[in-house]
């Protein structure tokens, strides 16, 4: 039983970390109560029964799990900033945003790896692997070589890869484009900025 309780707390904690990262802007707000709750769950308090407790846990987990659209919106956020980091030739920042784009795409796919469509099952992981191993890898090379022209091509090709998956998932209305503004205005994208020190 102790094992079960610890496992449960572990899962809640993991979800807490996931949600905390997802809402990184409000990390403190979300993270702390979840951790406290996870700790509270660890206390061997009187329980109705293991089955009822497990049922409640499943409910709580699904209520707290981030949904795929949220993870994708994060991927879109990072991918848009990536364009402006490269535009300013801020290659370290571009490298960061590429890596965040990749990890959020992987995360989105893990949340919901297979989608049912009229054409049958769509394996999102296969599509993502294809996009990652081709276009996103091209972007990585362009960043390493500080090659703006190659970056420009690879970024536009990636957009087509994004859109191919949206179409395969019967979501053709999610049509990515080269962004016209960064998703964040509090950050200065200029690699030569001098203020603040
Ligand atoms: C492997 C498939 C796949 C790939 C690759 C993919 N997406 Fe998505 N994307 C989805 C799915 C599925 C949804 C809809 C999620 C839902 O319905 O909950 C989505 C939704 C979105 C949304 C809308 C989120 C919202 O709710 O507002 C954005 C933005 C987005 N994707 C951006 C991107 C970008 C940018 C890329 C490429 C860098 C990309 N996606 C690549 C599958 C993919």
Give the residue, 167 or 5, on which the prediction is more confident: 167
Q: Which two tokens stand for residue 131?
A: 């996009």
Q: Which two tokens stand for residue 179?
A: 């962004």
**Does ligand 1 come within 6 angstroms of the Cβ of 18?**
no
> What pLDDT digit, counting tens, does each position of 78-107 carry?
999 999 999 999 999 999 999 999 999 999
State in Å: Cα 2 to ligand 1 middle. 40
pLDDT at site 56: 65
Between CA 175 and CA 181 the distance in angstroms is: 16
Q: For the chain, how far is it from start to end, CA to CA, in angstroms?
A: 54
pLDDT at site 64: 64
> What pLDDT digit, counting tens, does each position of 12-49 carry?
444 444 444 333 444 334 334 444 444 444 555 555 57
State in Å: Cα 62 to ligand 1 middle. 20
């Amino acid at each position: 039983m102790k094992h079960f309780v610890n496992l449960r707390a572990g899962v809640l904690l993991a979800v807490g970390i996931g949600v905390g990262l997802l809402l990184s802007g409000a990390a403190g707000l979300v993270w702390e109560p979840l951790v406290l709750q996870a700790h509270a769950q660890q206390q061997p308090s009187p329980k109705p029964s293991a089955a009822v407790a497990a049922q409640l846990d499943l409910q709580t987990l699904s209520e707290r799990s981030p949904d795929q659209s949220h993870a994708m919106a994060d991927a879109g956020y990072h991918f848009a900033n990536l364009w402006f980091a490269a535009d300013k030739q801020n290659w370290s920042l571009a490298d960061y945003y590429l890596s965040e784009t990749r990890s959020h795409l992987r995360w989105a796919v893990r949340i919901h790896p297979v989608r049912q469509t009229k054409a049958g099952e769509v394996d999102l992981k296969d599509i993502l692997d294809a996009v990652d191993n081709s276009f996103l890898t091209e972007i990585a090379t362009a960043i390493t070589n500080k090659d703006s022209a190659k970056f420009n091509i690879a970024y536009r090709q990636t957009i087509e890869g994004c859109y191919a998956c949206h179409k395969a998932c019967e979501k053709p209305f999610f049509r990515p484009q080269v962004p016209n503004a960064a998703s964040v205005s509090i950050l200065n994208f200029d690699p030569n900025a001098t203020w603040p020190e």
